[in-house]
Structure 1
Amino acid sequence: MNAGPAAHRTVVADVRVFDGEKLLEPGTVVIDGPVIGTAADADGARRIDGRGGVLLPGLIDTHVHLTDLSTLRAFASYGVTTVLDMGTWPAEKVDALRGRTGLTDIRSATVGATSPDSAHGQRLRPEGGLVGGPDEAEGYVDRRVAEGADYIKIIIDLPGFDQATVDALVAAAHRHGMRTVVHASSLEAFRMAQHAGADVLTHAPLDRPVTEEDVARALAGDRVVSPTLAMMEAIVGAVGRPGAPGPSYEAARASVAALHRAGVPILAGSDANDAKGVPATPPFGDSLHRELELLTGAGLSTVEALRAATVVAARCFGLTDRGVIEPGRRADLLLVSGDPVADIRATRNVERVWCAGVEFDASRPNASRPNEDRR
């Protein structure tokens, strides 16, 4: 590796690095421009005393809904350095948030596919997102590919799509080499998504837990699940009534526990949003930390929860440049006090955050695109 100018290098000393399995003994990490450097790059670099803190890879939230630059600032302030947007439109709005120096990095589905007969379709009337049947699936996917979507989001909100339409959407996405993420907050929707061959299932059933057969099918089909337990908890808190029929957080928690025990990859996603007219609005950034706590409550160890928000999330979405702290990887970093392996709540003790090597500055009102920095 060719080290950049010393002015663009930072040494973070006396930190315990989370290597994806455990905390290492106190050591030093070098930030060389936008990537992690080596010990040989440390000469002449700015030095920061980590004071025995824990250095984590920047957290990845696998389910959010973006608004504007303030959204990115909120995420960065909580150490969430990458977010996967599951529904923001038009594409120009998304593009304006891409590549912002010193702020959270994004990927986006732009507008998700939803049925005009569904609650989502009726409430949001998303521009370009309504799909009336299987014959409209190919055109919908073509338009998302053309506008630069990073994956295809499909909303199974029943009553709404029939199986043939979900099948057609997933097949069209796969013909383009696109990953599919399917909204499935009921057991029937979960099963429809599996039947169609979806790649990632987001949310967890709030009506009934998954069965052993559902779990076996998910494992055999290499499914990945981002259960958004923070959103499931918030929905039940907003509309559920003790002892009355309705959404059940226990159904969602039990589903995650069963999937995890079987070895289905579980990702950390919050469904953070500030939309109008939705059942719940988990706050940007903070809710991912709540998600980690809820994942441990569903049977994941603290290490597994941290992996769900770092290396596993990166791997499942093809983000091969991040998710671990090693030379050459993107310098997305979160320094916390305390020990999140001993107590997952320590991820909230944010000391410093770096987004692609740029330390997050809460006093900076906005962040420029890389080419704007050179003007």
Structure 2
Amino acid sequence: MGTVTAIDGVRVFTGDGLTEPRRVYLDGAEIGTGRTPDVVVDGRGRVLLPGLIDAHMHTVRGREDLQDLATWGVTTGLDMAAWPSAFVTAMRGQTGVAQILSATTPAVGPGGNHARMPGFPADGVVTGPREARAFVDRRVAEGADYIKIVTEAAPPEGMDQETVDAIVAAAHGHGLLVVAHAVTTGAVHVAVAAGVDISTHAPLDAVLDDATVQRMRDAGTVCSPTLTMMRGVADLRAAAGLRYEHARDSVTALHAAGVRLLVGTDANSAPGAPFAPRHGESMHDELGLMVDAGLTPVEALRSATGLTAQIFGLDDRGVVEPGRRADLLLVDGDPTEDIGATRAIAGGWIAGERVR
């Protein structure tokens, strides 16, 4: 049996608010119910959160990226493109650092920027609907946890609507969620028309129109806007007419309409990326930007924990309850009032092990 840790006098985030001060037990890799503790941690004046889940990141440097996530209280990272499959498998097996899931290789059109990335796998380029099922079958064979598609407004840069539709249908046939990289309003239209489950990024070219927002709400489409990335790109490419305010105001409109929003950063360390949010640290930037866009601190915290776990079927984490993974973040202050308090990290645990 593993070490039993008790955190005393701590208020616990429930997804809706905070409990009164209480004792929480970590029994080995899970949250427990009350064996005699080997270690006692003072939680007075502090708040215990489920470990944060970054709904959009990329594993590039390997374990170093996962260690950076863990250091900042991010205990799970949803990798949205990584290859080769042997590398992804090795990163899934790391212990003592953030755990990842992965889309492995994404589907891209033959003329877009992604297809021209050095080292991009040839089997990720999809030129027509007849190739859709084979693409998805390859991802399933290498253990993809969900399917990632890069959508564009139209060929020749991206895949046509029929091809995107076919990939979504094939993925859903395997019971897999589909995440669309959609950085323009036109790309969002393609993704939503195809019935993707999650649209990631918020467009910089214009604010999403009311009809698209309502269609996303009615279809149950989820959005992970990656405002940290979009702000960074807008700062670098303002001359091209890209404005961060468009992304922020799109999030405000989506939130007002009741579209579910997830906290993702697009953290990466890839050479040639348009911007590189820092693994882990950028999660706290993203929480602040989501609050600035209209979410309450409680909503932002829920979107970074239990809601993401629910959407991606991670039933073993995202809440502080007995029997769940002991993936936890202890902070000074009250982040339900001041979202910046998530940076005041007093302790973190992954599967019951204290993060060093």
* TM-score bracket for the superposition, by shorter chain length: over 0.9
The answer for the alignment partner of 1:366 in structure 2 is none
Match of 2:307, SS state, is helix
Q: Kindly provide the CA deviation profile for residues 131-174 of structure 1, in whole angstroms up to 9, marking residues without a partner as x.
A: 11111111110000000000000011453111111111111111
What's the C-alpha RMSD, in Å, of the aligned pairs?
1.1
Structure 2 letter corresponding to 1:238: L
Give the one of 323, 330, 340 matched to 1:328.
Answer: 323
Deviation at 1:302, TM superposition (A): 0.3
Distance 1:44 1:308, change over 3 A: closer
CA distance in 2, matches of 1:289, 1:44: 31
What corresponds to 2:43 in structure 1?
A: 50
- Which digits, 9 at most, give the CA deviation of each residue in 1:102-132, with x for residues without a partner? 2111100011111121111123452121111
Cα distance, 1:238 vs structure 2: 1.4
In 2, Cα distance between equivalents of 1:19 and 1:317: 19
The answer on 1:59 being equivalent to 2:36 is: no
User: In structure 1, what is the Cα distance between the partners aligned to 2:303 and 2:37?
Assistant: 36
1:24-173 matches, within 5 Å, as 24-38=19-33, 41-67=34-60, 68-124=62-118, 126-127=120-121, 128-158=123-153, 159-173=157-171
Q: What whole-Å deviation, never above 9, does each CA across 1:232-251 have from its counterpart, x for those lacking one?
A: 0010111214xxx5211111
CA contact (8 A) 2:152 2:186 kept: no
Q: Secondary structure at the match of 1:181?
A: strand
The range that moved more, 116-125 or 291-300, is 116-125
Aligned to 2:124, what secondary structure does the other structure show? coil
Point out 4+ residue stretches in structure 1 off by more than 2 angstroms. none
Aligned mate of 2:289, from 291, 294, 318: 294
Worse overlay, 122-131 or 149-158 = 122-131
- Does residue 258 of structure 1 match 2:253? yes
Aligned partner letter, 1:187:
T
Deviation at 1:52, TM superposition (A): 2.0
Rounded Cα–Cα distance in structure 1 between residues aligned with 2:160 and 2:21: 55
| C-alpha distance in 2 between matches for 1:70 and 1:157 | 32
> Partners in 1 of 2:281 and 2:186 — Cα distance?
31
Q: Does 1:312 align with 2:307?
A: yes
**CA–CA separation in structure 1 for the residues paired with 2:329 and 2:141:** 35
Q: For residues 271 and 182 of structure 2, what CA distance do their matches in structure 1 show?
A: 21
Contact 2:152 / 2:190 at 8 angstroms: preserved in 1? no
- Answer yes or no: is the 8 Å Cα contact 1:12–1:28 preserved in 2: yes
Name which of 157, 167, 181 aligns with 1:183. Answer: 181
CA gap 1:180/1:124 in 2 versus in 1, 3 angstroms: farther
Segments of structure 2 that go 5 or more residues without pairing to the other structure are none
8 Å Cα contact 1:11/1:42 also seen in 2: no
Q: Secondary structure at the match of 1:169?
A: helix
**Pairing 1:270–2:265 present:** yes
Aligned to 1:229: 227
Structure 2 length-normalised TM: 0.96
**Structure 1 residues 112, 124: closer, same or farther in 2, change over 3 A?**
farther
Q: What residue in structure 2 maps to residue 207 of structure 1?
A: 205
Q: Determine helix, strand or coil for the equivalent of 1:277.
A: coil
Deviation at 1:25, TM superposition (A): 1.5
Give the counterpart of 2:332 among 327, 330, 337: 337
The question of whether the paired residues in 2 share the 8 Å contact of 1:13 and 1:50 is answered with yes
Task: State percent identity of aligned pairs.
Answer: 51
TM-score, normalised relative to structure 1: 0.91
2:236 matched to 1:238?
yes
Identify the range of structure 1 (118-127 vs 91-100) with the bigger mean alpha-carbon deviation. 118-127
Instruction: Verify: 1:196 aligned to 2:194, yes or no.
Output: yes
Separation (CA, whole Å) in 1 of partners of 2:94 and 2:272: 29
Q: Which runs of 5+ in 1 are unaligned?
A: 362-375
Q: Which moved more, 1:99-108 or 1:68-77?
A: 99-108
Alpha-carbon shift at residue 44 of structure 1 (Å): 4.2
- Contact persistence 1:109–1:149 (CA under 8 A): yes
